[in-house]
Amino acid sequence: MDKNNAVIVLQDGTVLKGTGFGAKDTAEGEVVFNTSMTGYQEALTDPSYKYQILMMTYPLVGNYGINREDFESDGIKAEGFIVREVTQEPSHGKLTSDLNEFLKEQGIPGICGIDTRFLTRRIRIHGVMNGILKYPYEEKETEDLIERAKKLKNISELDLVDMVSTNKIKKHDVGGKKTIALIDCGVKQGIVHNILKRKVNLIQFPARTPKEKIMEHEPDGILISNGPGNPEKSDYVIKTVADLIHERIPAFGICLGVQIMALALGAKTYKLKFGHRGSNQPVKELKTGRVYITTQNHGFAVDPESVDDKLEISHINLNDQSVEGIRHKELPIIAVQYHPEAYPGPHDSCYLFDEFVKMMK
């Protein structure tokens, strides 16, 4: 691979030149970092990364290739990929292609050979910001790319849920006695798998499905999924969830789902400085004092000052004390900011799916 044939520029004028891989194309969006040591395939295909250029802080990426089992959606949802070093000869019994070929097939550009530690510190100090990844690249384009990066829309202004939600109702019947209605805001397949393996039927609804249409299927539980971007821009989901709350059906929110649930119950949300993305986030359950290591991917959070008397904060993040879970004091409603399905892991919090299933009984 030719060196210095690709570039990543940030809206603050930061320029890092490196080696391009994957598809020859240009990616635009918010530049974010993920601190996981594994799980790059799950991260790339996570719909919550829509309109984001993903950077892995772990220095060597791609060493076990790509396989058919670890997709979280139908393809890559991140706009671009930034790594320190790409493995040229991956090794794994289940691999079907390498990372370079995977990005090429999906039309996603990548850049390697840059100082990802510097870029991570830049984002931690100044907060996430928009950027452009271009491969191939010529020196004379630098100033124009910086100006373009400055003019990109802030992720807070966009409704991204509509871009990643299913466009039709999907039924997953495993012969269970109970049925969950899943409001798909960009659901990870790991969530679907965790429900189905507990022998519960699942009906997947587009994010814009109104309450009346969902209730026609007489669900025993409601699940609001993860998804990308600013929850306040998905006002149609907030309205549906607010309407469903009055039905007193057990409900469970995950990641974006906790933010949607909070907004539906009158609380507020805000944007984090650089978000939580990785599989090593410590979360404390306030009732028991137990600490869990969790997988997370979010840039917004519930404002604890806005949580009123009908709700209680059930979990907090031990790094920054942000809200990681809420419960309703009277209604059968729980929601968490982290990912209990945790693909690729850790699986400390999978018990929450069992708790949700018990709520329906």
Catalytic (active-site) positions = 255, 339, 341
CA–CA separation, 292 vs 354, rounded Å?
16
**At 48, phi and psi to the nearest 5?**
-70, -10
Closest CA to 29 of 109, 86, 98, 105: 109
Closest CA to 353 of 338, 361, 341: 341
Helix ranges (H only) for the chain are 40-44, 99-106, 116-126, 142-151, 161-164, 189-196, 211-215, 235-245, 256-264, 351-359
DSSP letter at 356 equals: H
In Å, how far are 88, 203, 223, 267, 308 from 316, measured between CA atoms?
40, 31, 21, 16, 16
Closest CA to 78 of 47, 101, 110: 47
Nearby residues of 157 by Cβ (< 8 Å), 6 or more positions away: 230, 233
CA–CA separation, 277 vs 217, rounded Å?
35
Is 145:139 a contact under the CB 8 Å cutoff? no
Helix ranges (H only) for 177-319 are 189-196, 211-215, 235-245, 256-264
Closest CA to 155 of 134, 127, 182: 127
Burial code of 224-259, b = ≥16 C-beta within 10 A, e = fewer?
Answer: bbbbbbbbbbbeebbebbbebbeeebbbbbbbbbbb
Q: What is the CA radius of gyration of the chain?
A: 20
CA–CA separation, 310 vs 333, rounded Å?
11
